[in-house]
Amino acid sequence: MIPFYRLRFSNRVLYIRLHSSSDPLPLDIHSSSDLIRKQQWRALKFLTKSTNPNSFLQQLYDWNAPYDVVLQYFKWSEQEFHVSHSLEHYCKLFYLLANANKYGKIRSLLDNSFTIQAINNYSSCSILRMLQVVGDNVCANSIIVDLLILAYVNNSNTDLGFEAFDRAGDYGLKLSVISCNQLINLLVRKGKYGRAEFLYREMIKRRMEVNLGTFNMVINGLCKAGRLHKAEDVFQDMQVRGVLPSVVTYNTLVDGYSKKGGAGKMFKADALMKEMVKRKIFPNNITYNALIDGFCKVENVSAAMNLFKKMQVSGLKPDVVTYNSLIYGLCCLGKPDEALTLWDQMVDSGVKPSLVTCNVVMTGFSKKKMIDKCKEVFDDISKQGLVPNTYTYNTLLNAYFQAGNLEDAAKLYKSMLEDTVSPNVSTYNSLIAGYSREGDIETVNRLVDNMKGRDLKADIVTYNILIGALCKKGESREAVKLLNEMSRGGLIPIQLTYNTLISGYCGEGNLKAALNGVSTLLARGWDSFPCIPASTTKSSGLNAPTTAVQPFLGFVESGFPFTHNGGAAPTRQAATGHNALFAQQIHFEVDLFIVLCLVRGQIVKSTRMAKWIWIEKGQAFKMFKKHPNCIQN
């Protein structure tokens, strides 16, 4: 005879017969709920062994089981059977909890890593569509999506969060300002400023609640994106809507204008601070620091110092950020001694210098070639309890190389490696440039190999230095190989790159290649290049204007203005030969001489030239009063 087992559950008697897997389970909602609530999982597992966990979960939904029963089984089945519940089951559970006003449990469920991992497999569009299928309660679904967006934000998933917000509008769901603000904040932190602005505009369009936090975060994003006119528009919008700006609002705008730089932007930043004072919104350290830093960046240190004094008068104590900005400004003006005086004042006031302070002062001394002072600050860093970083070492390395002190530079580089401070591309650029100036190509090649060994990719500066070194040695062909290698590596040559090559060709007497380089510059829209020395035309043997001068005449005929590159190109060299053709004044102003060619007994004419000059037997005629020094003997 087949035995029966008798189990009691809440005054109910449930008879369970041992049966095969094909037999149906004699379970109902009451007995199942009792087992789940009492967490008698062994009994439940035995009774449901012939049933798929997802199927039993669906049975609970069909029975309209209470939310606590469904939730407990949902969690247990995940842990016990490692099942992946379907999107429908997730949405049904969310809907069940929302209708029971158990929003905290939804949030707790969404905070679970297993749940969010499963949810992330579905698009926000799929989730919202399934919620509509599960139930048509707009209020419940709005809360679910609201909590879903917060979960996406907590997991830094901007794409799914933004998609959920976007599609919520299509389904007429009302989201809270809390979730929207959190999403805007995440978008701004991730640098997705356009999406943050779109979200804000959509909130206004959907007539959703917006508060001070919303406006501040959107303004912050627009300022970081450099779209100050848009930030100003939002600033005006908030006041139209009756939301009063706070000190955070003003600080954000002041910082945005200050970072943008320029006299006009600094005038606006200063005006904003005056406006906030007028509104009884008092500036704090952040306000003053932003303005002081902005004025120092545009080298208006006098205005920065006035703010520094005003800051102290108002009862605010300057911090390390304040001093760093002022010290930077003084160093940029070439006043490192005054920067050191401010440093002493900083220490006396109880503000401890940071590594940034030391680096800035060192940079100032390095630019002034005050190597001893630079080294003195470097030595003081460890005494201050600070640890030099890569930038610190790079600054002193630059100073040593500028002074031609290769021995100390080599020792410093060795010390850098011993202190486990990793060199970067800038470090190697300094080393390569320093040894290149000394003509030590062997060391340069070793440094390049070392750089590659550290998986550091050469940048445009590295290539320019190497190309310059090769051109200096008269190896322009090797320099061109580097140029091609640079292009293959995805780096775009700059004007200085071609200027260096042109000068190299000129030094080798290869005028044809130099002119090709000039043509490349023009094709790229650059309007300055090194002057071609007269010695080049001599050594190249070009006596006919058709070969040496005609390319330049083509540029003149096209109305191309030649201008000097302000020091980026090699120093201008003038004609010193017996005969040369020179034209200076045409319909536009010319700063560089246009045609330089030693052509014996010939004058080259151009319809765009207003005058031509004949130079004979080395005697240079004095040309126009405006450019008396354009020809030098």
Listed in sequence order, the residues at least 6 apart from 522 whose beta carbon sits closer than 8 Å to its beta carbon are 555, 560
pLDDT of residue 118: 80
- Name, in order, each residue with C-beta under 8 angstroms of 416's C-beta and a sequence gap of 6 or more: 393, 423, 427
- Whether residue 592 is predicted with pLDDT greater than 60 in this model: the reply is no
The encoded tokens of residue 74 equal 């949902």
pLDDT at 528: 52
- Amino acid making up residue 451: M
How far, CA to CA in Å, does 498 sit from each of 343, 488, 504, 517? 43, 16, 10, 6
Q: What is the dihedral of CA 190, 192, 196, 199, to 10 degrees?
A: -110
Q: φ, ψ for residue 310 (rounded to 5)?
A: -65, -35
Tokens 């003053």: give the residue: 288
- Give the pLDDT confidence score for residue 555 in this predicted structure: 42
Task: Round to whole Å and give the CA distance between 70 and 32.
Answer: 10
Name the least confident of 282-296, 437-451, 555-569: 555-569
| Total residues found in the chain within this entry | 633
User: Are β-strands 580-582 and 12-17 bridged in parallel, bridged antiparallel, or unpaired?
Assistant: unpaired
Looking at the chain, the number of H-run helices and the number of E-run strands are: 33, 4
Which tokens belong to 208? 């959703």
* Rounded Cα–Cα distance for residues 273 and 254 (Å): 7
Point out the least confidently predicted range of 93-102, 362-371, 501-510, 513-522. Answer: 513-522
Q: CB–CB of 623/631 below 8 Å? A: yes
CB 171 within 8 A of CB 207: no
Helix or strand run (H / E) with residue 632:
none
Alpha carbon of 287 to those of 185, 252, 271: distances in Å? 21, 9, 12
* Alpha-carbon gap, residue 562 to 556, rounded angstroms: 9
pLDDT by residue (tens digit) across 211-241? 999 999 999 999 999 999 999 999 999 999 9
- Cβ contacts of 102 within 8 Å, gap of 6 or more: 67
CA-nearest of 582, 573, 576 to 603 is 582
Compute the mean pLDDT over every residue in the chain, rounded to the nearest whole number.
Answer: 79
Here the contacts of 228-236 (C-beta below 8 Å, separation 24 or greater) are: 228/253, 228/256, 228/257, 228/260, 228/265, 230/197, 231/256, 234/200
State the pLDDT at residue 160.
93
Q: Residue 527: its pLDDT value, please?
A: 54
Distance of CA 464 to the CA centre of its chain: 24
DSSP one-letter code for 586: B
Torsion, Cα 284 290 291 292, to 10 degrees, reads 100
Spatial neighbors of 212 by CB under 8 A, at least 6 apart, are: 238, 243, 244, 245, 246, 249
What count of other Cβ atoms lies within 10 Å of the Cβ of residue 580?
23
Is residue 565's pLDDT more than 80?
no
What count of other Cβ atoms lies within 10 Å of the Cβ of residue 24?
A: 8
Whole-angstrom distance, CA of residue 217 vs CA of residue 219: 5
Q: What pLDDT score was predicted for residue 491?
A: 86
Task: Kindly report the three-state secondary structure assignment for every residue of 229-272.
Answer: HHHHHHHHHHHHCCCCCCHHHHHHHHHHHHHHCCHHHHHHHHHH
**In the chain, where the domains are located:** 532-615
pLDDT, tens digit (0-9, with 9 covering 90-100), for 139-164: 999 999 999 999 999 999 999 999 99
179: amino acid identity, one letter: S
3-state DSSP call for residue 5?
strand
CA-CA distance, 355 to 361, in Å (whole number)?
Answer: 10
100-134 pLDDT tens trace: 999 999 999 988 877 778 888 889 899 999 999 99
- Give the whole-angstrom CA distance, residue 399 versus residue 108: 58
The one-letter amino acid code at 67 reads Y
Q: Report the range of poorest mean pLDDT among 82-86, 385-389, 404-408, 516-520.
A: 516-520
Distance CA 269, CA 92 (A): 53
Please check the confidence at residue 591 and state whether its pLDDT lies above 60: no
